[in-house]
Structure 1
Amino acid sequence: MAMGAAVVALGAAPAFADGLVYSGDGAASVGWLSDGDRLHLCDEKADGHSAVGILYVDGVKYKTYWQTAGANTCSEYGNSWIAEGTPVKLTACVGESSTGEYGNCVSRPDHGKSRGKGNVIH
């Protein structure tokens, strides 16, 4: 796993100041939690595919995250190393983890900025 990344299985989605980004078919959602700069990724449908979340930091693709635990499951991935004020962008996709292929992606052009632990992004 990348530096500073952690996985936590969750039962319910927390509130997001900026809302969620959904894949084109609504089968995957990704959100940004400012408390510790965490990416929240959910598999929303029992469709046989994985949810994919892509994090861009300051305009550069940082990492592709996979949620492979099945429908109606979520995980969070910590990214607390991101400097305060750095722009982040999220993309939600659906994919096939066995091949690494994904598609049906939707991005938000500017999801917000890292504000450090405990602050809300706008």
Structure 2
Amino acid sequence: MRFRIRHAAAALVASVALLLTTSPTASASADGGSVIDPTAGAAAWFKADGDVFWSKDTKADGHSAVTRVYVPSVGIAHNLWNPDGYGAARYKSYGTAIPEGTVVYYQACIGEYGTKQLLQCTPGWGKAYA
């Protein structure tokens, strides 16, 4: 009888331990920090929920803000143009086009919207996970 109680107790403890150490699959996604070029007047950032890239114009200089989006593993290389002027922000959601956990890169730039010519970009890239 003692053997059965010990065996049952051991099975119960093992089951509870398994329950406590098993968690739902965690998401590898993570928002990225802002990439800002105060001299040029542009900011870019990434929000993992919806895989959304943002571009904001931070200087009243007549240039458009541009966020360069680069996701090499799925072949995305895109410029998100924001010609709306100082203080305005634009976004683009990639939704399901970027698989969960994929590394994404982004850069803040300025450019001429009419010709789609980039004039200046931050020297580094922001990095996040979709």
8 Å contact kept, 2:107–2:126: no
**SS of alignment partner, residue 70 of structure 2:** strand
The TM-score, its normalising length taken from structure 1, stands at 0.72
8 Å contact kept, 1:21–1:107: no
How much has 1:24 moved relative to structure 2? Answer: 6.1
8 Å contact kept, 1:30–1:92: yes
Whole-Å Cα distance in 2 between the matches of residues 18 and 112 of structure 1?
5
| 4+ residue runs over 2 A deviation | 58-61, 107-110
Confirm whether residue 90 of structure 1 aligns to residue 106 of structure 2: yes
Confirm whether residue 21 of structure 1 aligns to residue 35 of structure 2: yes
Change (3 A) 1:110 1:58: farther
Whole-Å Cα distance in 1 between the matches of residues 84 and 38 of structure 2?
20
Gaps of 5+ in 1: 1-15, 115-122
* Higher-RCO chain (CA-CA 8 Å, sequence separation at least 6): 1
The TM-score, its normalising length taken from structure 2, stands at 0.68
The correspondence for 2:65, drawn from 51, 58, 77, is 51
Confirm whether residue 78 of structure 1 aligns to residue 93 of structure 2: yes
Whole-Å Cα distance in 2 between the matches of residues 18 and 108 of structure 1?
13
Identity over aligned pairs, percent: 30
Deviations 1:15-61 (A, max 9, x none): x9432011362501000001100001101110000001110003655
User: Residue type matched to 2:48 in 1?
Assistant: S
Write 1 or 2 for the structure with the bigger share of helix: 2
8 Å contact kept, 1:50–1:96: yes
Confirm whether residue 103 of structure 1 aligns to residue 119 of structure 2: yes
Whole-Å Cα distance in 2 between the matches of residues 101 and 17 of structure 1?
28
Whole-Å Cα distance in 2 between the matches of residues 58 and 107 of structure 1?
19
8 Å contact kept, 2:69–2:105: yes
Rg bigger for which structure? 2
Write 1 or 2 for the structure with the bigger share of strand: 1
RMSD (Å) for aligned C-alpha atoms: 2.1
Change (3 A) 1:87 1:68: same
How much has 1:104 moved relative to structure 2? Answer: 1.7
Kindly tell me the number of residue pairs found equivalent between the two proteins: 99
